[in-house]
A and B are shown apart, each in its own frame.
Chain A
Amino acid sequence: MFWQQLANGVTMGGIYALITLGLTMVYGVLRILHISHAGVFALGAYAGVVALSLSGNLVVITLIAMAVCGLVGMLMQRWVYRPLMGSSRIVPLIASIGMFILMEDLFRLAAGPYVLPLPAEVPFGLDQITTSFVTGNQLIVLSGAVGLLILTWLVINHTRLGLAWKATEQDFETAASCGINVDQAVAMNFLLGSAIAGAAGVLVGFYYNSVSPTMGSVPAYKAMAIAVLGGLGNVWGTVVASVLLGVTEAFLVTSPVGLLLPRDSIAFVALILVLLFRPYGLFGRR
């Protein structure tokens, strides 16, 4: 029982990390609270459902969803965020909330208000490896999450692109004057972050075998809470905070506390408590 709960919690943590990662990357470079990131996440799931007609293979549809979401994320940055760079913080934030509401409703109008299944096939029958405490599907979601996290880590720490992000994060003008193509760096940042959110969308849709227009509603704000908990802009803080939250939720929901506190408000209670003592989050500095 304990191990099952732990496995559930860690799996949720992996999913949270994937959703929050793009958010915190965007915040790190642009200082924008990108609420519509959760819309991109839901878009990924829908792209996955559409891609099912091309191929049943989970890996293939995940890649398709990543491509679609990466592109849409980049367009958002080009069309919405870039023109708003000089304005006060609340302007892009509210634009982002508006965009998120718009996306949710577009999904509802395009695909109907009901839940769609996402019965992807897993290559090599990996979903059959079910032990007493971990299901095959959990293993797949987890390995997908870990793989993408490692990929992101490599990009951030071992490529020129990652270096360009770090420079841009520190100072836009200086980075540009040092010959960094800031515009391109920011676009790539959105591309990668959104693609990962798209992958998260497919994985969540597959894990629960359900895709619905409102699947982004709770992650939209919960991911924000996680990003702040982990220290906004801090990628590793985000991953740790995600897993901590996933595990905490899994254990609290089955405990007596779960009766008082619904699952989805645990993140916010944790957020408020942590911020009282550590205003920059668990792992934030400055």
Chain B
Amino acid sequence: MGLYQVTIAITLGIYLILTMGLNIITGYTGQVSLGHAAFFGAGAYASAILSVRYGLPFWGALPLAVVATALMGAVLGTVSTRLREDSLAITTIGVNFVVVSVFKYSSFFGGALGIGNIRYPSLFGRVLTKPEYLLVVAACVALGMWFDRRLVKSWLGLALRAVGQDEAAAQSLGVDSPRFKIIAFIIGTAYAGAAGSLYAHFMTFISPQDFGFPVSISIISMAVFGGLGTLRGAILGSCALGLAPEVFRPLVDYRNLMYGALLLLMMRFQPQGLIGDGSPLWERLRSLIAGGSTTSRVGEGGARHESRR
């Protein structure tokens, strides 16, 4: 693998962590967040400031950035319990805009110039090479996936999905939905914090526009493209849309056009995403894998499907 491929793989890993986090908030728990990039940024800035100003090594800055971002997520989660669905979507857009302008206009965060000279992580007194850093990112991705699988199989995951599918019904069965919404935001934004920290130490330079609203749109596009509410959808979506700009280099001028058309057509004709639960492609794949013995089980609720993977 050349350095170019390694760089792309690291970027894809970061996208995947972001998408997995958003999938927990929006996919499982049904809380539409259009400001995920704000938490990506929070993680990146926390990690960068800890590293540049307080001399913390990457290994200390990463967990602290995750904690700081999750705290921010807890605040948004608490606010979200007071809002109805549609106001929440708009508020998260607002959070994204406000967070970016705080980064941009406050000298503590380096202003419009951003923060540079973020140290590349080192281990045993030696700076990691790029392929080694890829291993670090891969380990984080694996940890994120493992946690996601555990979550889906757990009671907590079941409660999150119950809130996502029908909040009123869940509540009538005794599910304390505000609590689970907050938990979903904490977990999802913790993922974003980790992604931000990995991004900051990889780029070694960050600026406010790296975390603007268009980035939030990209993340939600990735989650939706593959199939919202499924891990496989998050993986496919982040890899496919993350690679698209590299593969279609000549089309770079039409990138937004493609993004917009993709989102519109996907939602219009196949809202379940490419391989989400109940999408034609996934149903066909499933019956292929099962040798055509299982009949389609659309709409039976995701939890059982998920646990088989």
Q: Which of A40-48, A150-158, A167-175, A257-265 contacts B (4 or more CB under 8 A)?
A: A257-265
* Nearest CB in chain A to that of B267: its residue: A95
Chain A residues whose CB sits within 8 angstroms of the CB of B254 once the complex forms: 105, 109
Chain A, range 228-286, C-beta contacts under 8 Å to B: 228, 232, 259-262, 264-265, 267-269, 271-272, 275-276, 279-281
B271 engages A268 (CB within 8 Å): no
Whether the Cβ atoms of A89 and B32 lie closer than 8 Å is: yes
Residues of B within 8 A of A73 (CB): none
B residues in contact with A264, CB < 8 Å: 97
- A92 to B267 alpha-carbon distance, docked (Å): 7
Looking at the complex, which of A50-58, A79-87, A128-136, A199-207 is the stretch in contact with chain B? A79-87
Q: Verify if A98 is at the interface (C-beta below 8 Å from B).
A: yes
Contact at B82–A268, with CB atoms within 8 Å? no
Q: Tell me, in angstroms, the Cα distance from A105 to B252 when the chains sit together.
A: 12
A98 touches B97 (CB 8 A): no
Partner-binding segment picked from B140-148, B257-265, B281-289: B257-265
Interface 9-residue window, one of B13-21, B41-49, B83-91, B190-198: B83-91
* A90 and B90 within 8 A (CB): no
Does B217 touch A at the CB level, under 8 Å? yes
Most buried by A among B34, B95, B213: B34
Neighbouring B residues of A275 by C-beta, 8 Å: 79, 82-83, 87, 91
From known contacts A90-B26, A91-B271, A93-B32, infer whether A279 and B84 are also in contact, taking CB-CB under 8 Å: yes
Give CA–CA (A89, B84) in the complex, Å: 12
Which residue of A87, A99, A102, A279 has the most chain B CB atoms within 10 A of its CB atom?
A: A102
Interface membership of A29, Cβ < 8 A: no
Report whether B97 and A221 are in contact in the complex, using a CB–CB cutoff of 8 Å.
yes
Q: Is B98 an interface residue (CB 8 A)?
A: yes
In the complex, are the beta carbons of B259 and A101 less than 8 A apart?
yes
Which B220-265 residues have C-beta < 8 A from chain A? 220-221, 224, 228, 254, 256-257, 259-265
Of A87, A262, A268, A279, which is within 8 A of B83 by CB?
Answer: A279
Please report the C-alpha to C-alpha distance between residue A133 and residue B86 in the assembled complex, in whole angstroms: 40
A125 to chain B, nearest CB (A): 41
Chain A interface main SS type: helix
Which residues of B (106-149) have their CB < 8 Å from a CB of A? Answer: 106
Least CB distance from A41 to B in Å reads 16
Residues of B within 8 A of A27 (CB): 86
Query: Is B105's beta carbon under 8 Å from chain A?
Result: yes
Q: Return B46 CB to nearest CB of chain A, in Å.
A: 21
Contact for B259 among A98, A221, A268, CB less than 8 A: A98
A98 in contact with B263 (CB, 8 Å): yes
CB pair B84–A95 under 8 Å, yes or no, is no
* Chain A residues whose C-beta falls within 8 Å of the C-beta of B86 in the assembled complex: 27, 31, 33, 89, 228, 232
Query: Which B residues from 256 to 309 make CB contacts under 8 A with A?
Result: 256-257, 259-268, 271
| B209: interface (CB < 8 Å) | no
Secondary structure at the B interface, as helix, strand, loop or mixed, is helix
A239 to B256, CA, bound (A): 33
Q: Does B94 contact A (CB under 8 A)?
A: yes
B101 contacts the other chain (CB 8 A):
yes
Contact status A98-B82, CB under 8 Å = no
The contact of A98 among B87, B98, B106, B261, by CB within 8 Å, is: B261
- Mark interface residues in A200-221 (1 if CB within 8 Å of B CB, else 0): 0000000000000000000001
Contact A225 B262 (CB under 8 A): no
How far does the Cβ of A111 sit from chain B's closest Cβ, in whole Å?
14
In the complex, are the beta carbons of A262 and B268 less than 8 A apart? Answer: no
Evaluate contact between A224 and B217: CB separation under 8 angstroms: no
List, in ascending order, chain B residues with CB within 8 A of A262's CB.
101, 104-105
Q: Is A100 an interface residue (CB 8 A)?
A: yes
| B36 CB to nearest A CB, Å | 13
Q: Are A224 and B267 in contact (CB under 8 A)?
A: no
Question: A228 to B90, Cβ gap below 8 A?
Answer: yes
Residue A106 interfacial (CB < 8 Å): yes
CB distance A95 to B257 under 8 Å?
Answer: no
Residues of A within 8 A of B70 (CB): none
Q: In this assembly, does A122 line the interface, its C-beta being within 8 Å of a C-beta of chain B? A: no
Check B264 against A95 for contact (C-beta < 8 Å).
Answer: yes
Q: In whole angstroms, what is the CA distance A156 to B126 when docked? A: 71
When the two chains form their complex, are residues B260 and A33 in contact, meaning their CB atoms are under 8 A apart? no
B93 within 8 A of A: yes
What residues of B have a CB within 8 angstroms of the CB of A271 in the complex?
A: 90-91, 94
B93 in complex: contacting residue of A88, A224, A227, CB < 8 Å:
A224
Residues from chain A with a CB closer than 8 A to the CB of B264 are 80, 95, 98-99, 102
Q: List 15 A-B contacts (CB under 8 A).
A: A83-B268, A84-B268, A93-B89, A94-B221, A94-B267, A95-B267, A101-B263, A103-B260, A221-B94, A228-B90, A260-B105, A262-B105, A265-B97, A271-B91, A279-B82
| Interface residues of B, Cβ cutoff 8 Å to A | 26, 30, 32, 34, 79, 82-87, 89-91, 93-95, 97-98, 101, 104-106, 213, 217, 220-221, 224, 228, 254, 256-257, 259-268, 271
Q: Which residues of A contact B (CB under 8 A)?
A: 27, 31, 33, 79-80, 83-84, 87-95, 97-106, 109, 221, 224-225, 227-228, 232, 259-262, 264-265, 267-269, 271-272, 275-276, 279-281
Q: What 4 A-B pairs have minimum CB-CB distances, sorted nearest first?
A: A98-B263, A102-B260, A101-B260, A268-B94
